[in-house]
Homo-oligomer: A and B are copies of this chain.
């Protein structure tokens, strides 16, 4: 808990040097982000923050997530049809999400290296493989279904 304190302070400094003020809602948001590594929705982050400062509003959370994203500290990704998930940019990774049971697997950076290379070579596109999850069927759900993971395969 105090291990991440240094990194937390770094983020607060970054805010200051960007001309932003360090306020209680911002402090608590950064604290929440470092406290647990996983993804959280804006609503979940707001709940954690409100446990400490009950009247921080969710719009403040959204505004500050946006600012932290602009500064490169935070990233959001879309793992399904629900709300976006936020996490530290330094913990960026890809996601496989099962469209049947909603299971999700976090996948390492390197998994997309080849795709990235080819996207650059063929289309000049520098992809960010984290932003949207890759939907599919997990092993368990494939077994239960005749429906293939991909309509056009074969």
Q: Nearest residue in B to A134 (C-beta to C-beta)?
A: B127
Given known A114-B114, A132-B133, contact A152–B119 (CB-CB < 8 A): no
Contacts of A72 in B (CB 8 A): 147, 151
Contact assessment for B98 and A152 in the assembled complex, using a CB-CB cutoff below 8 Å? no
A136:B125 contact, CB within 8 angstroms: yes
Most B C-beta atoms less than 10 A away, residue of A90, A118, A127, A138: A127
- Report whether A111 and B118 are in contact in the complex, using a CB–CB cutoff of 8 Å: yes
> CA A69 – CA B3 in complex, angstroms?
49
Copies in the complex: 2
User: CB within 8 A of A149: which of B98, B107, B128, B148?
Assistant: B128
Q: Is A139 an interface residue (CB 8 A)?
A: yes
| Cβ-defined partner of A92 (8 Å) among B125, B133, B152 | B152
The range of chain A's interface size is 35 or more
**Contact of A96 (CB < 8 Å), options: B98, B125, B153:** B125
A135 CB contact (under 8 Å) in B111, B122, B132: B132
Interface residues of A (CB under 8 A from B): 72, 75, 78, 89-90, 92, 96, 98-99, 105, 107, 109, 111-112, 114-116, 118-119, 122-139, 142, 147-153
* Chain A to chain B contacts (Cβ below 8 Å), 21 pairs: A78-B78, A90-B152, A92-B150, A96-B123, A98-B125, A109-B152, A109-B153, A112-B115, A115-B115, A115-B134, A116-B153, A119-B134, A123-B138, A124-B139, A124-B142, A125-B136, A126-B136, A126-B148, A128-B149, A128-B150, A130-B150
